[in-house]
Amino acid sequence: MTLKSLNTDKSWTLFLDRDGVINKKLDNDYVKHWIEFEFVEGAFMALRKLSTVFGKIVVVTNQQGIGKRLYRTEDLELIHKNMQYEIAYHGGRIDSVYFSPHLHSENHPTRKPGIGMALQAKEQHPEINFEKSIVVGDSMSDMEFGRKAGMKTVFISETKKTDPLIDYNFSSLYDFSEAL
């Protein structure tokens, strides 16, 4: 099945992981301040195109650095505000951002692969239909999150990965946007 066969339109929702999809991941570290946030190549062009395809674009991101007290919720909110501003400035959009500050060890329902952030998004945007949603992420917890919620899954990696949780593989958000 190809992406085009899904017939995505404005009734569809795109769920995006943040680190490794929109911005570069830091090796063995967290993006704690805006100055450390660097968009991945092609992110602006991808988000500009995706904004014309999807009715809602939502970011869902685990941020256990808050739980580890490496940065504050206020720091993260400023990062997200600046991220949304830059994306809008370049012609794209992010409608909402959800994050889970909980530690992996807490097994909190909002922390991916739990679907708490998807449920928060649906509560805020009742028109979201998980069967007409795609999640794009670079970890297997993103894929499990999508599968548990009933979404299509897109795995972002330089190397193709075969797993029952993955519907599609792309090397970047830009490559995914070009395939639609």
Number of H helices, E strands in the chain: 6, 6
User: Residues 17, 138, 142, 167: which is the catalytic one?
Assistant: 17
- Which SS3 state, helix, strand or coil, does residue 32 take? coil
User: Residues 9, 19, 163, 167: which is the catalytic one?
Assistant: 19
- What CA–CA distance (Å, rounded) separates 74 from 93? 21
Residue 93: CB partners within 8 Å, gap ≥ 6? Answer: 47, 51, 57, 84, 87
Q: Is residue 180 within 8 Å of residue 8, measured between CB atoms? A: yes
27 is an active site residue: no
**Amino acid at the residue 21:** V
Q: Where are the alpha helices (DSSP H) in the chain?
A: 43-53, 64-67, 73-89, 116-124, 140-149, 173-179
163 is an active site residue: no
Q: Which residues are catalytic, by number?
A: 17, 19
